[in-house]
Amino acid sequence: MANLRITAAVRNGMLDSLRTAMDAGAGAAILEVYSGTQPANADTALSGNTLLGTLTFTDPAAGSASSGTLTFSAITQDSSADATGTATFVRVKTSAGTTIFDADAGTSGTTFILNTASIVAGGPITITSATLSIPAV
């Protein structure tokens, strides 16, 4: 099996295309925080997952990718969570509700870093940082 090695310019282009897809539509992209097992892919319907809350990206969601990494701009917190549960993943959608991608979420070592993964209904949900990278190898 051969290793795929992608140049930084191509990785940046791929990430910038993802950002463009997120920013499509009349408003800012949204981020839904869920509990439960992350679906096999973003085309898979949710099953047994609980929507804990919905946050809003800045519009545009990020600047240009650099060195194969897309660093998201500030994401507006959900000041009143919909449900109580443990956040495990997020689903990112356009302002019109079209799913773009799913990603892991937690308090460290994940794509979307939360202030806490233990979400309480009526409490805030805050993303403290979010980056998406495509490795060179």
Residue 12 structural domain: 8-38+49-133
Whether 43 is in a domain gets the answer: no
Whether 99 is in a domain gets the answer: yes
71-127: pLDDT as tens digits: 999 999 999 999 999 999 999 999 999 999 999 999 999 999 999 999 999 999 999
Whether 44 is in a domain gets the answer: no
- Token digits for 112? 């979307």
DSSP 8-state assignment for residue 37: P
Residues 6+ apart with CB under 8 A from 116: 107
pLDDT given at position 1:
53
Residue 2: pLDDT over 80: no
Number of separate domains in the chain:
1
Whether 1 is in a domain gets the answer: no
Whether 107 is in a domain gets the answer: yes
Whether 92 is in a domain gets the answer: yes
User: For the chain, what is the mean pLDDT?
Assistant: 95
User: Nearest-5° angle of CA 106, CA 109, CA 110?
Assistant: 50
pLDDT given at position 123:
97
Whether 73 is in a domain gets the answer: yes
Whether 17 is in a domain gets the answer: yes
pLDDT given at position 137:
79
